[in-house]
Amino acid sequence: MHLGQIAAQTPDKPAVIMAGSGRTVTYRELNEESNRLAQLLHAEGLRPGDHIAFMLENHPLYLAIAWAAQRSGLYYTAVSSRLGPDEVAYIVANCEARVFIADASIPAIAQNPPDVPLRLMLGGTAPGYESYEERVAAQPATSIEDECEGVDMLYSSGTTGRPKGVKPALSKAPMGTPGPLTQLISVLFQPDGDSVYLSPAPLYHAAPLRYCLTFQRFGATVVVMEKFDAEQALAAVEKYGVTHSQWVPTMFIRMLKLPEETRAKYDVSSLRAAVHAAAPCPVPVKEQMIDWWGPILHEYYAGTEGNCFVYTDSEDWLAHKGTVGRPVLGQVHVCDEDGEEVPPGTPGTLYFGEGPEFEYHGDEDKTAASRDPKGRGWSTLGDVGYVDEDGFLYLTDRRAYMIISGGVNIYPQEAENVLAVHPRVADVAVLGVPDPEMGEAVKAVVQPLSMDDAGPELEAELIAYCRERLAHYKCPRSVDFRAELPRHPTGKLYKRLLKDEYWKDAAAT
């Protein structure tokens, strides 16, 4: 449905509620704010196919800014608020943004404005920026004449290299035209105007941003957490009567490690669908979540690139534990290193055909590297997995993280899934480190629940725990302890940073 129609029908209904502060944006306010910004962008000469970028914390007007670009037929890039000035400058230049909107609460970017024709700052001003509030307030709250659907152009989180801008085709369809994601969400999760969607993750990530906007197309209320906290997430579910939510496995783990009496304090019975994605979920974690919340868990595997959508509900997952489901969009092909398809049960690089096409903006080499070398029109996200006899897909790991020790391929995700549920582990990464005899050795880098536990005793306990559950060669030979791991707020681990550290040290010696 068109945002303007929803605002006309239910003007005072909350479109956005900030979970921490309680600040509310009604559908009338959302529609008018996005219209005013769209008018400003139009007055500045932006037309369908042009580009804007914005870098904000989870802010009450975040979705209004996205809607302004969406209803103007623009490409828009939500930039991670965790990036430094050089990284931001690269993304803004690479996406060819003509307008950049910044949050005054992010000092690094306030002091280093990127080179674009128009820079606006929300919540304050800084040299090189104009006041967002002043410029937008001066515009009419009516829609622009040439409204049409825009699309996001988001950047990979850079866990395995420099961020890549995923540029989909721009439909320029009439505003309010449902796209493929809207149709998928409608069928799988059945939102409506009475739905309340909880978003506990940063909105600059693909899934939170896209799902929030999509739920608003149904007239639902979106509850946005300023920052994830395990107990506060449960409190938000109870307080706002949340019906739908989306999570990553690390959030499940943190909620499960709350004391039992804390978890029991909150009524989560309003939940009808708890969706999770972004990383493989350890089987014991998902089993515990289904025991706690009931068979309402829905899992999908997809990427910012949009070339596939693999899905499973709780019923299918319980019959095929560990699966991420079967393809709903795109056909899966599992290939060996020579590009030949392998039989069921055999791991290989995952390619998808018959799905939407994409390109990495301004990088023909990376686009070409994502394509099937045999020219069959398939594309890959770089993940490794296998398909069982029933057609269910299981993820093994990313090819970039594979460890080769003594000529044997080891996928560290297996050991990570085991160690993640150990009661004394808060977070864990498993990676290959240099070894003079084996080439690489398996190492675990662990964030314990308490750093007071870090030491040889816990190291021995974790190695033994892993060996009780996996073949010994898959388990870490050593464990290092850190107060915190470099994990993205969306749940993705910056394993590349850890690997670079260990291999740099080896090169130096």
pLDDT confidence of residue 498: 86
* Residue indicated by tokens 């104009």: 130
pLDDT digits (tens, 9 = 90+) for 134-174: 999 999 999 999 999 999 999 975 544 577 899 998 999 99
- CATH 3.40.50.980 positions along the chain are 178-203+216-300
Task: State how far the Cα of 265 lies from the Cα of 263, in Å rounded to an integer.
Answer: 5
Statement: 178-203+216-300 belongs to CATH 3.40.50.980: yes
Strand-pairing partners, residue 395, are 385
Q: pTM here?
A: 0.85
Task: State how far the Cα of 102 lies from the Cα of 70, in Å rounded to an integer.
Answer: 18
Chain centre to alpha carbon of residue 437: 38
Task: State how far the Cα of 124 lies from the Cα of 75, in Å rounded to an integer.
Answer: 25
Task: State how far the Cα of 379 lies from the Cα of 303, in Å rounded to an integer.
Answer: 12
Q: Which two tokens stand for residue 96?
A: 């060819």
pLDDT confidence of residue 420: 92
The count of other CB atoms within 10 Å of the CB of residue 246 is: 24
pLDDT confidence of residue 161: 56
pLDDT at residue 285 is higher than 50:
yes
Statement: 3-10+23-177 belongs to CATH 3.40.50.12780: yes
pLDDT at residue 217 is higher than 70:
yes
The count of other CB atoms within 10 Å of the CB of residue 134 is: 10
Burial class (CB in 10 A: 0-12, 13-18, 19+), 122: buried
CATH H-level, domain 403-508: superfamily: ANL, C-terminal domain (3.30.300.30)
pLDDT at residue 505 is higher than 80:
no
pLDDT digits (tens, 9 = 90+) for 292-343: 999 999 999 998 888 999 999 999 999 999 999 999 999 999 999 889 999 9
Strand-pairing partners, residue 109, are none
H-state helical runs in 313-370: 314-319, 364-369
pLDDT at residue 108 is higher than 80:
no
DSSP 87: H
Q: Tell me, which fold does domain 305-401 have in CATH? A: Luciferase; domain 3 (2.30.38)
H-state helical runs in 305-406: 314-319, 364-369
Task: State how far the Cα of 190 lies from the Cα of 218, in Å rounded to an integer.
Answer: 10
pLDDT confidence of residue 306: 87
DSSP 217: H
| Secondary structure (DSSP) of 448-509 | ESSGGGTTHHHHHHHHHHHHTTS-GGGS-SEEEE-S---B-TTS-B-HHHHHHHHHHHHHH-
pLDDT digits (tens, 9 = 90+) for 350-384: 999 998 888 999 888 889 989 998 999 999 988 88
Burial class (CB in 10 A: 0-12, 13-18, 19+), 152: buried
Q: Which two tokens stand for residue 306?
A: 């949009």
The count of other CB atoms within 10 Å of the CB of residue 256 is: 16
Q: Which two tokens stand for residue 249?
A: 């496995």
User: What's the sign of the alpha-carbon dihedral 348, 487, 185, 293?
Assistant: positive
Task: State how far the Cα of 125 lies from the Cα of 133, in Å rounded to an integer.
Answer: 10
Secondary structure (H, E, C), 109-121: HHCCCCCCCEEEE
- CATH 3.30.300.30 positions along the chain are 403-508
Task: State how far the Cα of 166 lies from the Cα of 360, in Å rounded to an integer.
Answer: 5
Q: Please give the share of the chain, as a percent, with pLDDT higher than 70.
A: 97
- CATH 3.40.50.12780 positions along the chain are 3-10+23-177
